[in-house]
Amino acid sequence: MNTLRERLVAEPERFEFGAVPMHQFDLARREFFKILGAGIAVFAVAKDALAQETAPGSPSFHSEESPKEITSWLHIGEDGMVTGFTGKAEMGQNIRTSISQTLADELRVPFESVRLVMGDTALTPFDAGTFGSRTTPTMTPQFRRVAEAARNLLIGVAAKEWNVPPEGLVAADAKVTHPASKRSLTYAELARGKTLAQNLPAEDPITPATEWKIAGKPLPKVDGRAFVTGNHKYTSDIRLEGMLYGKVLRPPSFGATLVSYDDSAAKVMSGVTVVRDADFIGVAAPSAHEAHKALDAIRTQWKEVPQVSSKEIFSYLKKNAEPSSNERFRHQKGSLEEGLAAATHGLEVTYNVAYIAHSPLEPRAAVAQFADGQLTVWTGTQRPFANRDELASVFHMPESKVRVIVPDTGAAYGGKHTSDAALEAARLARAAGKPVKVVWTREEEFTWAYFRPAGVIEVKSGIASDGKLTAWEFHNYHSGMSAIETPYDVANQLTQYHQVPLVLRSGSYRGLAATANHFARETHMDALAHAAKMDPLEFRLKNLSNARIRAVLEAATRSFGWPRKKTQDGQGFGLACGTEKGSCVAACAEVAVDLASGGVRVVRVVEAFECGAIVNPDGLRNQVVGAIIQGLGGALFEAVEFENGRITNPHFATYRVPRFRDVPEIEAVLLDRKDLPSAGAGETPIMAIAPAVGNALFDATGIRLNDLPLVPSGLGKG
């Protein structure tokens, strides 16, 4: 297993991780001494936990420096309720349910008696964040180990009680039984009056997937009822006593600097607090409309700077690449020259990928409250501990006095890693002396969040007369390194990632650059198959020895009925496959092009996905289908347009997202590999969609599209 530090080395395209907080305030020194002096820090720690995970030699719960990653623990109450604690956050990927299943399964208790406390820096162990498809591969084994330790502890307690050796006891159905004497005690009875703690065992005594009883089942979403009744409180739904509504004044364009400022009209409005701190300007008022009015009353002038626009972005990226000698960014094998010399056919193509926006339906939001020297912030973030640390540093408070709580959130897709809304709400709350809620508008979300970075990808390749790849050269400018290496068998290859300084604020997006890299690679492979006059499936299989990818490719094509015969004009079929983050995917797409109007419709998608042992097939299917549909947006029409530091399509009316009419018939084929550890599934299912659709469009029209989005306004007439 990798060390914590290794695991925390983020992909280079997670630009937002290294970025400075969006706001830096000049809080007076006097202020933060006041904060430091007031109150005492109290951590709510599960002190009376019967079974409590602590790493050997590391007494701290917030063990960022711990040599061993601790990201979960659990508690069994005197009522028999089991509470698991994890710093991960629920954002629709359904981990609250799947982790609860795992816990129930390993602890041998009913699913209903398990609850999870998630993403609360005061109650849950440190966690780097919910990203990178890490939850399932890390949390599943950890919770199993914690639960196993708890089970052994319960057995030990019962053994002592009955004065029998623990070996003969059985833990099942939430009780410990001594079959020889037919005695049994429930977990609740065993937990009563105890304060026992247990370290993790050194080994991994994990129940194999073939013996799972609760995990592996399609259990419904925990708390589903609260969502269909509207009772669940997202961050944006929270209302505290005396809470104000905050609004932030945004510059007219990126990088604009304030020249003049007049808040005299806003300041005198009743109940309104105006804050100007360095470049931050915001207001808090008793209602949203009063906040709007106050914001409108502030007069500002800005100095703007000319900036790159989306029209010239690709040539700009190429021109501004940093010369890199970083070995981490380069992978080389064999000799490209020899490989190209041995080729009977060569191909050289450039692919472009536009910026896209996450635009989760719940915009960034935070509620901040200062009370008794403590700052509490509710916010929909994927990185509660990073948010806490940024808040602590910006407000000059010790981390122990800052608490970040993540209510189950209205999605994120990699877009909610930063602490923007948290900082804004807290800054306003600080000034107003009352709790403040900040909810970004859709326009702010489209403008001031970060984007999936644009990229330019150059591919040069060669094949021999038998269709075998002889050379593969792959350069990615800016978009990132995820899944940059080809899974195909090529003796001679060079792969390189080229960094480019940020143009727009950029960062993680579901799957990172794996989508861009797969788009380029799989589009290129398709073109090579045509050059070799081979069926695209046959061509791939000829160059692919990775058994797991072959398996999904075969599963997808079987269900799709590959190869298909065209039955009408404008019909086309395409496929693509790949691997990333421990899982494998293959997609087949059928498209229909209206040859007169150039209108494009994706008719059917079959995608096969394999992520090891499946924890919850129902939740997984939801994720896979969701990724396909979200992937169709970026494949077909999503693109952030910008000019001179302004986003020019910051609305759902102008930034087109997939809607009901865009959704094809979808079949998700899930391969359950009980012999493999469970991998995450939030990202990889998105990667193969764009190239599969692009390849199908080529099949339908003979037009090869090498840019994402493929058809922002249809294929055009004729």
Partner 1 sequence: MAMQIEVNGKRCAVSYPPDTPLLYVLRDELGLTGTKYGCGEGQCGACTVLLAGAPRRSCQIPVSAAAAKPITTIEGLEKEGKLHPVQQAFLDAGAFQCAYCTSGMVMSSVVLLQTNANPKREEIVQFLQGNVCRCGTHPRIIEAVQHAAKMMQERAR
Q: Which is nearer to partner 1, 224 or 255 (CB)?
A: 224
Fill in the DSSP letter of residue 211.
Answer: G
Residue nearest to ligand FES (CB): 361
Look at residue 658 and give the partner it binds from partner 1, ligand FES, none, a contact being a CB closer than 5 to 8 Å depending on partner kind: partner 1
Contact (Cβ atoms closer than 8 angstroms) between residue 602 and residue 636:
yes
Q: Which is nearer to ligand FES, 177 or 359 (CB)?
A: 359
Q: Which stretch binds partner 1 (CB under 8 A): 152-160, 229-237, 389-397, 596-604?
A: 229-237
Nearest alpha-carbon partner for 710 in 696, 675, 718: 696
**CA distance linking residue 488 with residue 171, whole number of Å:** 48
Q: Which is nearer to partner 1, 583 or 623 (CB)?
A: 623
Closest contact distance (angstroms) between CB of 442 and ligand FES is 7
Fill in the DSSP letter of residue 366.
Answer: E
**CA distance linking residue 682 with residue 92, whole number of Å:** 10
695: CB partners within 8 A, 6+ apart: 522, 523, 526, 536, 574, 575, 576, 589
Q: Which is nearer to ligand FES, 626 or 709 (CB)?
A: 626
Look at residue 315 and give the partner it binds from ligand FES, partner 1, none, a contact being a CB closer than 5 to 8 Å depending on partner kind: none
Which one among 361, 398, 561, 566 touches ligand FES, defined by CB under 6 A?
361
Neighbours of 417 (CB within 10 A): 23
**CA distance linking residue 248 with residue 282, whole number of Å:** 4
Which one among 221, 247, 475, 542 touches partner 1, defined by CB under 8 A?
221
DSSP 552-578: HHHHHHHHHTSSPPP-STTEEEEEEEE
Closest contact distance (angstroms) between CB of 92 and ligand FES is 5
Closest contact distance (angstroms) between CB of 621 and ligand FES is 14
Contact (Cβ atoms closer than 8 angstroms) between residue 282 and residue 425:
no
Instruction: For residue 570, give the 3-state DSSP assignment.
Output: coil
Closest contact distance (angstroms) between CB of 627 and partner 1 is 7
Look at residue 91 and give the partner it binds from ligand FES, partner 1, none, a contact being a CB closer than 5 to 8 Å depending on partner kind: partner 1
Closest contact distance (angstroms) between CB of 293 and partner 1 is 10
Nearest alpha-carbon partner for 479 in 7, 8, 6, 15: 15
- The CB-side HSE value for 8 (13 A sphere, CA atoms) comes to 16
**CA distance linking residue 383 with residue 88, whole number of Å:** 8
Q: Which is nearer to ligand FES, 170 or 411 (CB)?
A: 411
Neighbours of 155 (CB within 10 A): 20
Look at residue 627 and give the partner it binds from partner 1, ligand FES, none, a contact being a CB closer than 5 to 8 Å depending on partner kind: partner 1
Residue 249 token pair: 């004044």
Does 269 interact with partner 1 (rule: CB under 8 A)?
Answer: no
Which one among 81, 258, 321, 411 touches ligand FES, defined by CB under 6 A?
411
Which one among 22, 46, 74, 91 touches partner 1, defined by CB under 8 A?
91
Q: Which is nearer to partner 1, 283 or 629 (CB)?
A: 629
**Interaction residues for partner 1, span 615-674 (CB under 8 A):** 618-619, 622-623, 625-630, 651-653, 657-661, 663, 666
34: CB partners within 8 A, 6+ apart: none
Does 230 interact with partner 1 (rule: CB under 8 A)?
Answer: yes
Closest contact distance (angstroms) between CB of 437 and ligand FES is 17
From residue 665, give the alpha-carbon distance in Å to each of 135, 285, 515, 605.
Answer: 29, 48, 22, 6
Does 237 interact with partner 1 (rule: CB under 8 A)?
Answer: yes
Does 164 interact with ligand FES (rule: CB under 6 A)?
Answer: no
**Interaction residues for ligand FES, span 53-92 (CB under 6 A):** 92
Contact (Cβ atoms closer than 8 angstroms) between residue 526 and residue 543:
no
**Interaction residues for partner 1, span 30-89 (CB under 8 A):** none
Helix and strand numbers, DSSP H then E, in the chain: 19, 27
**CA distance linking residue 213 with residue 369, whole number of Å:** 43
**CA distance linking residue 410 with residue 30, whole number of Å:** 38
Look at residue 261 and give the partner it binds from partner 1, ligand FES, none, a contact being a CB closer than 5 to 8 Å depending on partner kind: none
Q: Which stretch binds partner 1 (CB under 8 A): 68-76, 353-361, 484-492, 640-648?
A: 353-361
Instruction: For residue 146, give the 3-state DSSP assignment.
Output: helix
Instruction: For residue 573, give the 3-state DSSP assignment.
Output: strand
Chain residues that interact with partner 1, rule: CB under 8 A: 91-94, 220-221, 224-225, 227-234, 236-237, 239, 245, 287-289, 359-363, 408-411, 413, 439, 441-442, 618-619, 622-623, 625-630, 651-653, 657-661, 663, 666
Chain residues that interact with ligand FES, rule: CB under 6 A: 92, 361, 411
